[in-house]
Amino acid sequence: MNVPHTARINIAIDGPAGAGKSTVARMVASSLQYIYVDTGAMYRAVTFKALEAGLSTEDNELVGRLAKELDITLLPGTDAQRVLVNGEDVSSRLRTLDINRSVSYIARLETVRYRMAELQRQMALSKGVVMDGRDIGTHVLPDAELKIFLTATPRERATRRYLELGPDAGISLNQLEQEIKERDRLDEEREIAPLLRAPDARLIDSTGRTVDEVAEEIVQWGIAVARTILAEEK
Ligand code: DC
């Protein structure tokens, strides 16, 4: 969809794991011809490198130093976004169970969060960005013109992950639901930039809804907000 005659805005989409943020954010970005930034993939890329280097996921100083030195590039792909770390495409290695289990610990480190937020703000400087994560509306882009908090029940989110991983992954639906709840707890209870709904974020519960429906709703809100801003600027 081409969206002429509107201002370019930034859209922040936050919410817990498995709520459908990345799929929805990618669709919204494509409809509006905006750039999609998957911030979870950035934390996953740091986790991948930290595990590869044998660092402890609790080592604020060493992992922070590693994060600072990494060159993380996000490239739009046909299906999912591609993630390059120091020029190497690591996209297919970021969604393993090992990384799922460690990433919430890496994402608690102050040094890592500081560096990621800095990179993410740079990416959003020229507007026209749809960024998904946990702290985008509250911390990274508190001035984003449209903020969404996208959620779904833990069972529904576990079911989506189960279908994504496939039965050969060797993990049951119940186990996945427990892991999702544990990840929610870690993300919500961490001291720095926890998973939190910004007071001005619009709440969407995606349980039982299709990604197309949810994406379309956000696109329509985005267009309305952008038109209002343009009218005010005139
Ligand atoms: O969205 P995801 O499952 O790919 O995110 C991976 C992890 O990164 C998740 O446990 C929370 C963390 N994360 C975060 O703390 N802040 C963000 N902005 C994005 C992700």
- The Å distance, Cα 228 to ligand 1 centre, comes to 31
Closest CA to 197 of 210, 184, 178, 183: 184
Q: Of 77, 84, 130, 180, nearest to 172 (Cα)?
A: 180
pLDDT at 193 over 80: yes
pLDDT at residue 184 greater than cutoff 70: yes
Question: Ligand 1 center to residue 189 CA distance, Å?
Answer: 14
Q: What is the tally of structural domains in the chain?
A: 1
The domain of 222 spans 5-233
Looking at per-residue pLDDT, the higher value among 183 and 13 belongs to 13
Query: What's the gap in Å between 47 CA and the centre of ligand 1?
Result: 11
Question: How far apart are alpha carbons 128 and 166 in whole angstroms?
Answer: 35
Q: Please tell me the residue having the least CA distance from ligand 1 atom 18.
A: 133
- Nearest atom in ligand 1 to the alpha carbon of residue 135 is 18
Q: How confident is the model at residue 38 (pLDDT cuts 50, 70, 90)?
A: very high
C-alpha distances in Å from residue 194, one per residue of 59, 81, 85, 86, 184: 19, 24, 25, 28, 10
Residue 140: phi, psi to the nearest 5? -75, -50
Taking all residues of the chain, what is their mean pLDDT, rounded to a whole number?
Answer: 93
Distance CA 226, CA 130 (A): 13
Q: Which of 123, 144, 136, 116 is nearest to 42 (CA)?
A: 116
CATH of the domain at 200: 3.40.50.300
Residues 6+ apart with CB under 8 A from 32: 1, 3, 128, 130, 219, 222, 223
Pocket of ligand 1 (CB under 6 A): 17, 39-40, 43-44, 103-104, 107, 133-136, 183, 187
Which residues lie below 8 Å from residue 173, measured CB to CB, with a gap of 6+? 158, 159, 162
Q: Strand (E) positions, 86-128? A: 88-89
- The encoded tokens of residue 139 equal 């911390």
Q: What are 99-139's pLDDT values in tens digits?
A: 988 999 999 999 999 999 999 999 999 999 999 999 999 99
Q: Find out whether 41 and 228 touch, Cβ atoms under 8 Å.
A: no
- Residue 13 near residue 136 (C-beta atoms within 8 A): yes
In the block, tokens 């939190």 appear at 196
